[in-house]
Amino acid sequence: MAEEKVINNYFYDEAAYDYHDAGYVPLKEPQTPQQPLNIPGLLKPDKETATDMYYTIVAQTGEVQLIPGKKTQTWGYNGPLLGKTVVFKRGKTIHVHLVNHLPEVTTFHWHGLAIPGPIEDGGCHAPVYPGKSRDVTFKINQPAAFVWLHAHPCPSTAEQVWHGLAGGAIVQDDHEASLPLPRNYGVDDIPIILQDRRFHKDNQWDYRADYDPDGVAGPTPMINGTINPYFDVTTQKVRLRFLDGANRREFRLHFSDDLEFAQIAGDLSLLPHPVKMTKLLITCAERQEIIVDFGKYKPGDVVTLYSDDVPLVHFRIHEFKPDHTTLPQQLFETPDPAVDPNLPVHHVTLDGMDESVAINGKKFKMDRIDYKMPLHKVQIWDIENTNPAPGMIHPYHMHGTAFEVISRDGHAPYPNERGLKDTVAVNPGEHVRIKVWFNVAGVFMYHCHIIEHEDGGMMAQLQVVDPADPNKKYHLMNHMTLMKAFAEERHVPMDQLWLGGMDSYKKMGMEM
């Protein structure tokens, strides 16, 4: 049998990589001492039965010793920064008590979960005000995956994620559990949340000072809320669950020695087959899972994970037992339902950069439905990045569904995007066709996941209509309701309120 090809390129248009942007902030290696990689703890359920799981999730303020000197003021879920990892088991009904201990309104968005919208999904229409709580219930009926929780209050999603409101969640199912994959969490199964920050006076973050309508970035890599981390490798094989939790930055990942690894999963499922590679590009909000085999190294060696030429994580090799398990060549069968012949191709354009961003020529309005689609019907969506080259890569995300990438400009999708996804990066001038179907009804957003772009209006909203209840009405909030809440909580009059996304509307002369 021929040797399996090892992929050693990043696939995407190099001329559109974020480092060509005029406002690009290059990463720099931290000059602070190395710290143990923070592994987010597993969030303990309040209660679990054979059919149900109960959780309490608290959004709170905190402070963290990120670099020497003063502690940095941060926000997090059930902790001072980011969040504990939540476990969802397929087939179970999940009950979540959401609590807001922040000084301002927030929402709790389950990015990647196929659950009803707009309330359970936790987008803009499900606010939890300071000192208040909200209870949501939903059933998990989707394959094993690494999903995430982040704030989503329009138009301040980006600022709240920058404060630290982002955390991982693992969906478990029987199929994934039957495969010989590392899953000893914290030992050989590790979340790697990729972010970046800039430290200002007294080690604080200053979102407004760093604001860029094309996405906020900082020069310091922050991995799982750790600056300059190392990880002690005590097993030959390690599963890394990457999440690009940055506002703007794409990461071009590779190891020292061009160490080969195998990608086994994307956003919302395992891949059909492992993909051998030495380079992996991950854009905002995407998840990519890989297995790294450290078998050729000896105790005392260090293997470094880089983005471009900047070290992100130092893997310190210790003694480990030999591991002769092999990855199955068949990991997952991607669903491929037939397209409904009565549904025409739906076209979505991702337009503009800076303040001019839009979808299909329009900026987002919270109380407008842009499209309606029937429940359980399958449709082709054509996603076009209308920026001329070199332009920007736009990571396109859909709430409430898992889609299948079927082509890029008429050609086959990349080898590592053949599983189920919720976010796909689109090159300038490119058309990406995806197969879309919803298994839950409701109102859902779709948008660019450069978070400042979505705040600035590169977002739209569809209603998934259940034929059993075709006239169901949803209460849709408007931007002004949330902005008035922000103004009140920040103790400023409306004409002095600053939220990053507001600038994009004002500079285009548009009402929110």
Q: What is the pLDDT of residues 329-344, one digit of tens each?
A: 999 999 999 999 999 9
Q: Place 2 in a pLDDT band, splitting at 50, 70 and 90.
A: very low
Q: pLDDT class for 3, splitting at 50, 70, 90?
A: low
Average pLDDT score over residue span 313-320:
98
Q: Which residues contact 476 (CB under 8 A, 6 or more apart)?
A: 118, 125, 366, 367, 368, 369, 443
Which amino acid type is present at position 272? P
The answer as to whether 268 is a domain residue is: yes
Mean pLDDT of 260-268: 98
Report the distance separating Cα 57 and Cα 287, nearest Å.
22
Answer whether 316's CB lies under 8 Å from 232's CB.
yes
Is 207 part of any domain?
yes
pLDDT at 480: 94
Amino acid identity, position 409: D
Band (1; pLDDT cuts 50, 70, 90): very low
Kindly tell me if the per-residue pLDDT of 421 is higher than 70: yes
More confident residue, 240 or 391: 240
On whether the CB atoms of residues 501 and 456 are closer than 8 A, the answer is yes
The residues with which 396 forms a beta bridge, in sequence order, are 424, 448
The residues pairing with 277 across neighbouring beta strands, listed in sequence order, are: 7, 261
Q: Give percent of the chain above pLDDT 90.
A: 96
pTM of the model: 0.97
Residue 243 lies in a domain: yes
CB 140 within 8 A of CB 487: no
- Rounded to 10 degrees, the C-alpha dihedral 373/375/378/384 comes to 40
The answer on pLDDT for 135 being more than 60 is yes
Cα 491 off chain centre by: 32
User: Quick check: 230 pLDDT over 70?
Assistant: yes
Tokens of 375: 């429940």
| Torsion on CA atoms 401, 406, 412, 418, rounded to nearest 10 | 40
Report, as an integer, the average pLDDT of 235-254: 98
Give tens-digit pLDDT for 488-510.
999 999 999 999 998 899 888 88
CATH code, domain carrying 225: 2.60.40.420
Q: For 92-217, where are the E strands, in sequence order?
A: 93-100, 109-111, 133-139, 145-150, 166-172, 189-197
Mean residue pLDDT of the chain comes to 96
Cα–Cα distances in angstroms (integers) from residue 174 to residues 87, 90, 274, 402, 505, in the given order = 14, 8, 19, 19, 47
Structure tokens at 164: 């630290």
Residue 295 domain flag? yes
> Does residue 240 sit within a domain?
yes
pLDDT at 368 over 60: yes
b/e 179-190 (16+ beta carbons within 10 angstroms → b): eebbeebeebbb
Q: Percent of the chain having pLDDT more than 70?
A: 99
27 within a domain of the structure (yes/no): no
Count CB atoms within 10 A of the CB of residue 13.
17
Dist. CA 232–CA 229, nearest whole Å: 10
State CA 73 to chain mean position distance. Answer: 23
* Token code pair at residue 153: 């209050």
> Does residue 438 belong to any structural domain of this protein?
no
> 């196929």: which residue's tokens?
114
Domain assignment present for residue 217? The answer is yes
Give pLDDT tens digits for 288-309. Answer: 999 999 999 999 999 999 999 9
Cβ contact 130:102 at 8 Å = yes
Which residue segment(s) compose the domain that 287 sits in?
189-317
Number of domains in the chain: 1
For the segment 167-195, what is each residue's pLDDT rounded down to a tens digit? 999 999 999 999 999 999 999 999 999 99
* pLDDT value of position 178: 98
Pairing of strands 302-307, 251-255: antiparallel
7 three-state secondary structure:
strand
